[in-house]
Amino acid sequence: MLRKLSSSLAPLTLIGMSLALYGAFIYAPEEKTMGDVQRIFYFHVASWWIAFLAFAMVFGASAAYLATRRRFYDTLALASAEIGVVFTSMGLFTGPLWAKPAWGIYWTWDARLTTALVLWLIYVGYLMLRRYVPDESKRANLAAVTGIIGFVDVPIVYFSIRWWRTQHPQPVVMGGAGSGLDPLMAQALMMSLVGFFFLFLWLLDKRLSIEQAQQEIEHLHRRIEVL
């Protein structure tokens, strides 16, 4: 699917991210209490949702690899994990920027922030494991198991503000009675999600292309050694 969309992903990403910037900084109204600093919300939330999508793909690809032993799924899991760590880092960076003017502090060890940091550490550890286990088959197997187990923290992060009392605000999207966004804010959030989604697909396509090229180089090296 990505191969078929590859030529279209760059312009779609450009349009989507332009739309996200327009929605966050121009289209969305100013929040009454926090003012313009609240505009970080559109990038912060989108970063986390795309990170969750990336880690869900790691989970699915890892399970598919263990079932089929096809190298493509291992490669897909690796690419998704790398991109997921990037978006998680973005979420962890934008959160304190928003927290300081809103709460008066950059960080607090509440349930949402702590489990989010643990999620980042899990997948950084996943990438380190892949780098330092030399045997290809063993590396792929260990990484697949880690990718599956690590995904357990994703729903914990998501539901943490529903399960425990936290410093983090209660959900404004699908948060039940009393929650919700101004319609223009909700539309701006959707613009950001669309833009970040196409950015994710574009990064995934490029990372898979790089990995494919590396595999072809490895194959050529092996053929040269045989000769």
Which CATH number belongs to the domain containing residue 113 in this structure?
1.20.120
pLDDT in tens, 29-63: 988 888 888 899 999 999 999 999 999 999 999 99
In a domain, 183, yes or no: yes
* Token reading at 94: 């934008």
Q: What's the structural domain count of the chain?
A: 1
Alpha-carbon span 218 to 227, nearest angstrom: 14
pTM for the structure as a whole: 0.88
In a domain, 5, yes or no: no
Q: Is 180 exposed, middle or buried (0-12, 13-18, 19+ CB in 10 A)?
A: middle
**N residues, the chain:** 227
Predicted local confidence at residue 102, as pLDDT: 78
In a domain, 2, yes or no: no
In a domain, 6, yes or no: no
* Token reading at 176: 């039940």
Alpha-carbon span 201 to 206, nearest angstrom: 9
In a domain, 86, yes or no: yes
How does residue 103 score in pLDDT terms, banded at 50, 70 and 90? Answer: confident
Mean of the per-residue pLDDT values of the chain? 88
In a domain, 3, yes or no: no
Query: Which domain range does residue 20 map to?
Result: 12-226
